[in-house]
């Protein structure tokens, strides 16, 4: 459940289980063990986790449930008495999950182990991504997540992720390179670098690294594929990093920015770095480097003390920055965070929060519609992820879904240059055609536009 970091860590849990002699099932009905990797970023994500675990316990009474992830770290007692829950494992113990399972083999009662987030400098710091096995490439994935960092040092006032993930810990560059090489040699065509706060990558290493250094090291491996960054704080994008987005680079011209608010006072109260003007300066600089850059963003509507003027500053930032792919979150009060202690009179009434969230989404849709018109003017490099009879579907370098007729018998993982013809709002994807003279972009015989 939740973010792509959880997805990557779930793959590691699965791999370690297979290495210990277990095997997967084709149907959950046949499972002896079901692992739920939970999310705790919002109240809604926690509600969904509780609902799922109750349903699994009810519908699969012979299976034993293992609950892990951020919700298990934050509130393990929530799951102790749930039907069929055999083990509750915090984030820092994911790397020992199968060892803990062996220790608590039913019918012996389990101890529901839990660890607190590791302290900085602790040799055991870092989660499963720093200690687990090197993963094999999954044949059903053309785009492959690659975790480079875990944890967060920011302590934003609305967020409990540092409490459940611990401090920022960078995966060693040698391990990242080894995992990238394994994926690419086995057929992956796009690596997606991810973490809880990838902009902080390398600061804890000795000697220190930067995100730009890590990307530079990976780019030569991606000459027959491409590299993409996941969510990043724009204030962590220095000149060296931004220059890597130049046209022709294997680095995709797409960024999802962790912005949260476009108002300076609200950003300060959130604990966010950088001003509204500094955010726009980076967005504009990136667009000068590569005019085809596409930006998404996380925004929070209705943070405590958000006035009409403050909201207007966030609203106008969307158009000024040309941000077309939004994730809008109505403010969700999280336990044990500084914002949860704000006085009640500072809270924005729920109907206004919902209204503001709707307005932000509409503004994002307007930018998306504007972007569609210009996007039809040049071709897309589409990575094929789904083959459905005569049609194929995939993702463009700038993160749009594209569907086209499979005239060249493309298979999963092919990279094809496609002329975009229209946008289908019902399917939320572009439609396109492959030029009569075409070749898979892995041959390197097609120049970048």
Angle at 268 between CA 267 and CA 272, to 5 degrees: 60
Mention every residue, 6+ apart, whose C-beta is less than 8 A from residue 334. 42, 43, 158, 159, 160, 340
Task: Give bridge partners of residue 149 from the DSSP assignment.
Answer: 170
Q: Is the pLDDT of residue 307 over 80?
A: yes
Q: Which residues sit opposite 258 in a β-bridge?
A: 298
List Cβ neighbours of 35 (8 Å cut-off, separation of 6 or more): 10, 13, 65, 66, 68, 97
pLDDT at 105: 55
The proportion of the chain whose per-residue pLDDT surpasses 90, expressed as a percent, equals 73
Q: 47-65, pLDDT tens digit by residue?
A: 999 999 999 999 999 999 9
Distance CA 45, CA 3 (A): 11
Mean pLDDT of the chain: 89
- Tokens matching residue 133: 């096995």
pLDDT at 56: 94
Phi-psi region of 363 (alpha: psi -120 to 50; beta: other; left: phi over 0): alpha
Dist CA 31 CA 369 (whole Å)? 45
Sheet with 294-301, edge to edge strand ranges: 254-260, 294-301, 323-330
**pLDDT of 439:** 60
The answer, yes or no, to whether residue 446 has pLDDT greater than 70, is no
Q: What would the CATH number be for the domain defined by 128-374?
A: 3.80.30.20
Kindly report the pTM of this predicted structure: 0.88
Q: Is the bond preceding 354 in cis, omega lying within 30 degrees of 0?
A: no
Q: Where are the domains of the chain?
A: 4-103, 128-374, 380-443
Split at pLDDT 50, 70, 90, the class of 119 is very low
Average pLDDT value for residue range 70-86: 90
The answer, yes or no, to whether residue 441 has pLDDT greater than 70, is: no
Q: Residue 144: enclosing H or E segment and its boundaries?
A: strand 143-147
Helices and strands in the chain, H and E counts = 13, 16
Residues 366-380: pLDDT tens digits? 999 999 989 999 999
- Compute the distance between CA of residue 262 and CA of residue 33 in angstroms, rounded to an integer: 45
CATH of domain 4-103: 3.40.50
CATH 1.10.3470 fits 380-443, yes or no: no
pLDDT for 176-225, tens place per residue? 999 999 999 888 999 999 999 999 999 999 999 999 999 999 999 998 89
Q: What is the pLDDT of residue 406?
A: 86
What pLDDT digit, counting tens, does each position of 127-152 carry? 788 888 888 877 778 889 999 999 99
Spatial separation of the C-alpha atoms in residues 57 and 287, rounded to whole Å: 50
pLDDT above 60: residue 160: yes
Q: Is the pLDDT of residue 113 over 80?
A: no
Residues 94, 65 contacting (CB under 8 angstroms): no
Q: pLDDT for 229-273, tens place per residue?
A: 999 999 999 999 999 999 999 999 999 999 999 999 999 999 999
Per-residue pLDDT reduced to its tens digit, 389-404:
889 999 999 999 999 9
């Amino acid at each position: 459940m939740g973010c792509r970091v959880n997805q990557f860590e779930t793959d590691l849990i699965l791999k370690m289980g297979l290495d210990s002699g277990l095997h997967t099932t084709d149907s959950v009905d046949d499972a002896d063990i079901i692992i739920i990797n939970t999310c705790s970023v919002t109240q809604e994500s926690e509600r969904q986790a509780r609902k799922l675990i109750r349903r699994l316990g009810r519908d699969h009474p012979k299976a034993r449930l293992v609950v892990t992830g951020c919700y298990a770290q934050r509130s393990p007692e929530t799951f102790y008495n749930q039907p069929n829950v055999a083990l509750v494992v915090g984030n820092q113990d994911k790397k020992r999950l199968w060892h803990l399972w062996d220790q608590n083999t039913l019918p012996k009662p389990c101890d529901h182990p839990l660890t607190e987030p590791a302290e900085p400098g602790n040799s055991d710091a870092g989660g499963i991504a720093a200690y687990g096995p090197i993963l094999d490439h999954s044949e059903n994935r053309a785009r492959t997540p690659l975790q480079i960092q875990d944890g967060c040092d920011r302590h934003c006032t609305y967020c409990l992720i540092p409490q459940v993930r611990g401090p920022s810990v960078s995966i060693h560059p040698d391990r990242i390179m080894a995992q990238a090489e394994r994926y690419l040699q086995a057929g992956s065509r796009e690596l997606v670098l991810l973490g809880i706060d990838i902009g902080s990558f390398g600061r804890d290493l000795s000697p220190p690294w930067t995100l730009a250094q890590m990307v530079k090291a990976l780019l030569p491996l991606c000459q027959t594929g491409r590299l993409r960054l996941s969510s990043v704080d724009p204030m962590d994008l220095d000149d060296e990093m931004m220059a890597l987005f130049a046209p022709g680079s294997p680095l995709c011209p797409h960024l999802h920015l962790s912005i949260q608010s476009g108002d300076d006072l609200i950003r300060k109260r959130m604990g966010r770095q950088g001003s509204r003007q500094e955010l726009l300066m980076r967005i504009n600089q990136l667009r000068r480097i590569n005019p085809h850059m596409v930006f998404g963003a996380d925004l929070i509507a209705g943070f405590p003390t958000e006035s009409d003027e403050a909201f207007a500053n966030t609203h106008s930032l969307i158009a000024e920055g040309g941000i077309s792919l939004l994730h809008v979150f109505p403010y969700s009060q999280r336990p044990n965070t500084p914002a949860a202690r704000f006085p009640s009179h500072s809270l924005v009434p729920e109907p206004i929060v919902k209204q503001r969230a709707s307005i932000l989404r509409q503004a994002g849709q307007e930018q998306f519609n504007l972007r569609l018109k210009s996007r039809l003017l040049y071709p897309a490099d589409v990575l094929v992820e789904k083959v459905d009879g005569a049609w194929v579907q995939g993702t463009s370098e700038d993160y749009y879904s594209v569907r086209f007729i499979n005239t060249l018998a493309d298979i999963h993982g092919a990279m094809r240059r496609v002329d975009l013809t229209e946008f289908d709002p019902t399917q939320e994807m572009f439609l396109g055609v492959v030029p009569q003279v075409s070749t898979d972009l892995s041959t390197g015989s097609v120049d970048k536009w």
